[in-house]
Amino acid sequence: MNNLNLNSKKRAFYIFLIFALLLVALLGRCIWIQFVNGPELQIKAIEQQTKDKTINSKRGIIYDRNGKILAQSASVEMVSVSPREIAEADNADFVADTLSTVLEMDRESVYKKITKNSSYEIIKRRVEKEPADAIRSFMSFEDEDGHTTNKLKGVYLSEDTKRYYPYGKLASHVIGFVGTDNQGLNGVELSFDKYLKGLPGRIVTAKNAMGTDMPFKYEKYINPENGANLVLTIDETIQHFVEKNLEQAVADYKVQNGAACIIMEAKTGDILAMATYPSFDLNDPFTLNSAEKQTQMDALQGDEKTKFYNDELQKMWRNKAVVDTYEPGSTFKAITTAMALEENVVSINDAFHCTGAHVVGPHVIHCWKTGGHGAETFLQGVENSCNPVFMTVGARIGNSNFYKYYKAFGFAEKTGFDLPGEAVCAFHQMANFNEVELATCSFGQSFQITPLQLITAYSAIANGGTMVRPRIAKVLTDDDGNVIKTFESKNIRKVISEETAATTRQILESVVTNGTSKNAYIAGYRVAGKTGTSEKLPRGNGRYIASFAGFAPANDPEVIGLLLLDEPMGDTYMGGQIAAPTFKLIFEDTLRYLGIEPQYTEEELKTMDLPVPNVEGLSVADVSKAFENSGLRYQIVGDGEVIVSQIPKGGTALPASSTVVLYTRETDESDVVVPDVISSGVSEANRRITNAGLNLKISGNAEVKDGEAIVASQTPPPGTLVPKGTIVTVEFNYTNVH
């Protein structure tokens, strides 16, 4: 009996123990669910019980430095659906038919989305007002009996934004664009995306187990926060000057691999313009900008077509001024000049002799002028862009000092510029940087840099030896115009002394006035700079990059510019003949637009145009007195006693000794035809225009001599009918430049 009681007690104990352990386990599980898994389960519960829609924030506006809008967002709408609500309403076919028609989408793709086993699908984003209103009309459809019904149950319209670029192609490689999710994909849209995109809002509504709306109303609206507005350093007007002239140069010189140009404010590093040509339409960035490439793509199929398309898009979006590397050629001679002057291994008047070639170790390296330049000073050597002079000077600088300055001028590092994809450039390993490499580097070959690095290095010469960091963004502002953040301009480092910088500027100004950069000369503006013509690898393939880098005014630089034309295939390819005149056109417009006052030399003042006296209404007897000491001639047509008209009109500027035609009666004389003087020399152009009864005006350097230059352009164009005495303005390009 006692054993029975003992066994009963044991069983009871074990049962109690089991229940106790189960209770502890259950309690532990509850604690685990409540405190460990609680947050995750709470999120899942909310997801099951609510429907969450995202409201895109309005992306910040992008302005140029003067407040012109370069990019902005406008309110549009997004079409989304609840497939479960559509299934419950059994209206999938009608919804698919309606949405595919109104939104111009493939019906099958729409049908697949609206019949998915999900509670939320986006059909189309960035829907304009007209199609959105058409959809809305079906959502409150009034039948013949006046009853309003929702024929698109399960379809929703919500706020969305769409990016617009008012200037289309302008500054496309700088501004960039956004994707379908409003995310920046290129340019400053990508670099400053975290500031521009803002914070999205939300609409949270209750739903049942089927994923459809609850019979009671619960909705929470969280407002989106607009992105900050970005003010760039770009000047829309200067950007236009650059792009217009790049496009013309590419056409005129048959440039095969595109062109690039940077215009920078010398003292601050502000990028006033940056362009790569060809550009692309920011409002349609996924369409190829080349009809030829589009035709090639259309002929392909499958993966091959996809790869071709993606490769061509990447090429089209590539910012040549920042991403591409190239051999700078003779534009680098300005840097070698500054090195040599700083190290005091050369002076302006040091004597050299060029035979057309220079022996370096076992190699004979030629000058661009195969016959040689003969005896010349260092100044003349830079003016002539003489390779043997620079190889000699490079040897004086030495390998270690050359590499020291190469790094100091910023070529061994990125500039830190705020655009994506800046290239990292490679130089010779010091162990392999021998006398031959030093010789070729001294005149800008056998290494590669980016255009952005070179213009940054030129800023040290322009700024008294201090190099400035290039800057693309000025400030961020809110919608009320308050400044949120300022992007300060920064100095990088002191590279050379003020004295060296001043001497280098003086030399580079002389290169434009007297040397191979004469086609960049602008009367009154003291342009300084250097041309470059670098042969692309492999050598001997007939492919070149023509370039020019310079600044103005030379004595106190305000603006620096760099321009390159990649693979010109026209009649000439040399930087002095095609890059320099293109640079001149851009800088001429830019300097005048910026209000920089011209500084005319005595020689320029002597050749400046003279104002034409206004003699209309004067008697013939008084004409001679009006033209006395004017420096101009006149010719009277007709036998009347009073001047009734004149060509050119009073106040017009004419070169000295030009002829003004005066009429004493209304003339019925026929107009004269403007002769074609393109490619003519100075004397020939003057003879043909004068013989036609017209006046010749030379744009730019009026001291052009026969044999030095030919007419590159004329206005009015050949064949135009104009009155006798009309001014024909011609522009000469020097032909004896490199």
189 in helix, strand or coil?
helix
| Residue 328: closest CA among 140, 488, 487, 546 | 546
Which residues are CB-contacts of 165 (< 8 A; sequence separation ≥ 6)? 70, 71, 175, 177, 282, 283
475 and 483 Cβ atoms separated by less than 8 Å: yes
The Cα 357–Cα 406 span in angstroms is 25
Helix, strand, coil % (nearest 5) of the chain?
A: 35, 25, 40
Distance separating alpha carbons of residues 504 and 715, to the nearest angstrom? 36
Q: Which residue has the tokens 């000699």?
A: 392
Are residues 327 and 533 in contact, defined by beta-carbon separation less than 8 angstroms?
no
691 alpha carbon, distance to own chain's centre? 46
**Distance, CA of 447 to CA of 450 (rounded, Å):** 11
> Which neighbouring-strand residues pair with 489?
none
DSSP letter (8 states) at residue 14? H
Q: How far apart are CA 354 and CA 370, in angstroms?
A: 10
Cβ burial, residue 355 (10 Å; 0-12/13-18/19+): middle
User: Catalytic residue at 330?
Assistant: yes
Residue with tokens 């070169």: 655
- Spell out the alpha helix ranges (H) of 120-235: 129-139, 172-175, 187-191, 193-196
The answer to whether residues 637 and 669 touch, using CB atoms and an 8 Å cutoff, is yes
Distances (CA, A) of 323 to 310, 420, 483: 18, 8, 31
Work out whether strand 645-647 and strand 610-611 pair parallel, antiparallel, or are unpaired. Answer: unpaired
Contact in structure between 367 and 357 (CB atoms under 8 Å): yes
Question: From the candidates 172, 330, 517, 547, which is the catalytic residue?
Answer: 330
Return d(Cα 444, Cα 336) in angstroms, integer.
Answer: 9
Of residues 407, 433, 402, the one with CA closest to residue 339:
402
Place of tokens 């052009």: 704
- Give me the active site residues, please: 330
